[in-house]
Structure 1
């Protein structure tokens, strides 16, 4: 198709005016450019796959740095509750067989209305608030609770009283375990108090436990009699005092009667022996007297014979 030269020459001035933004076509040109711009805003330009992978990698790295600081755990450890049948398994479950550094456990000894007279609520609340905060700190101690209201035998086998904090430093068995204890204030202890005890990284104010009632290395635990002793002490704590006095009274009377019976029997036997001995002595004495009389008579007779 041929376009006439005359038509082209007539259109050139119009095109020049449109290109310079002048003339009647300028407004249409501006509207068209606005339309093109608005359409382009909705059109997504495809991103290369390599660019997406690089962007995702950098984003994940930044997220990891933000969520996983060097000194914070990502998951808070739960607080364990110790019982008579599994407390040792719970404590040693966190100790690796080849560990050279001790695994630390913080055990709060608490109680209820009978064992703590309702005064342990403050320290229990403070410990529950502090435990999650400690658990997210890297290399922080594990936390556990020993309730003497529910586990009286275990508390008695440890000779543990409510209101104390036990710090276990566990190594793989059969290594010895250091245990430090600290008495907590039942009215002023807060979660900050517990945190400050850990952040201080010092055992100042703690006492090293060294007694027959050491839960792991004491004499009672070594000979396997810690639990029986715990039951005995528990019975003494459960039995009313008046009943205990009656039992002691009956027991003491029975023992005294038995001893008196043995003494009476021994006394009867002693009297018989003494009587026999006295009879023998009297016979001997009489015999000696007779012999003396005969000797004296013979001597007198001899002297009389000499006089004659």
Structure 2
């Protein structure tokens, strides 16, 4: 009986020991959730300044900063309701230390130099910029990687929109590379150096955009990126307990 009583007395201690890792993760998760709201990106206001070239003395063509709250309105802004020829946008997808690991400065300077060259040509594309450090939800909703140039051929809604993209070598790209690329696409009238986007993540014509799921998935992907590994362990542990 002594052995049985001792064993019975030890059961709560064993149960507590078994629960302790879960409880530790639970406490961490509660602390994480309390600070999670502050970590949600301020998609409407936070816009990082573009890198500039100290050698450029020409007034550059305006580069619009695209955010989760204004990108669609901004891209449609110059499109006339009766237009049959698309308004072309060149949008640089860039980032800082978090999403581009500090390697996007060179392409930003090249893009700004190209903007200065385009300022003298009234028929040149409209220019935009997305910073994935400050707009992670937007970048995730497009499945957009940093260090790439996107071309949007905008027609009046609800006409389909062609979107192209091209990644660059971030260690060697120059402003002349972008200017030569523009001259080639203008002269030859094709975009063979770019890839036409046809995936579910197409910002206008994709399945996710059609069903209104692009932004929720953008938030979900952002949350997965910022979620610590112990929080994932807690979620898996919770789900496994729920199914038992």
- TM-score scaled by structure 2? 0.72
TM-fit CA distance, 1:100: 1.1
Aligned length: 182
> Do 1:110 and 1:120's aligned partners in 2 also have CA atoms closer than 8 Å?
yes
Q: After superposition, where does 1:1-308 map in structure 2 within 5 Å?
A: 77-201=61-185, 202-255=190-243, 257=244
Paired with 1:129 and 1:76, the residues of 2 have a C-alpha distance of: 8
2:202 partner SS = coil
> Do 1:79 and 1:144's aligned partners in 2 also have CA atoms closer than 8 Å?
yes
Paired with 1:247 and 1:152, the residues of 2 have a C-alpha distance of: 23
Residue in 1 aligned with 2:54?
none
Instruction: Encode CA deviations 1:204-243: one digit per residue, 9 max, x unaligned.
Output: 2211000110001111111111111111111101111232
> Do 1:112 and 1:120's aligned partners in 2 also have CA atoms closer than 8 Å?
yes
Instruction: List runs of 5+ in structure 2 lacking aligned partners.
Output: 1-58
Give the number of the structure whose residues are more often helix, by fraction.
1
How much is the aligned-residue C-alpha RMSD, in angstroms? 1.4
1:212 partner SS = coil
1:231 partner SS = helix
> Do 2:60 and 2:112's aligned partners in 1 also have CA atoms closer than 8 Å?
no
Instruction: Encode CA deviations 1:23-74: one digit per residue, 9 max, x unaligned.
Output: xxxxxxxxxxxxxxxxxxxxxxxxxxxxxxxxxxxxxxxxxxxxxxxxxxxx
TM-fit CA distance, 1:135: 3.0
- TM-score scaled by structure 1? 0.57
Paired with 1:89 and 1:120, the residues of 2 have a C-alpha distance of: 26
Paired with 1:97 and 1:170, the residues of 2 have a C-alpha distance of: 11
Moved runs in structure 1, 4+ residues, more than 3 A? none
Instruction: List runs of 5+ in structure 1 lacking aligned partners.
Output: 1-74, 258-308
Paired with 1:135 and 1:220, the residues of 2 have a C-alpha distance of: 36
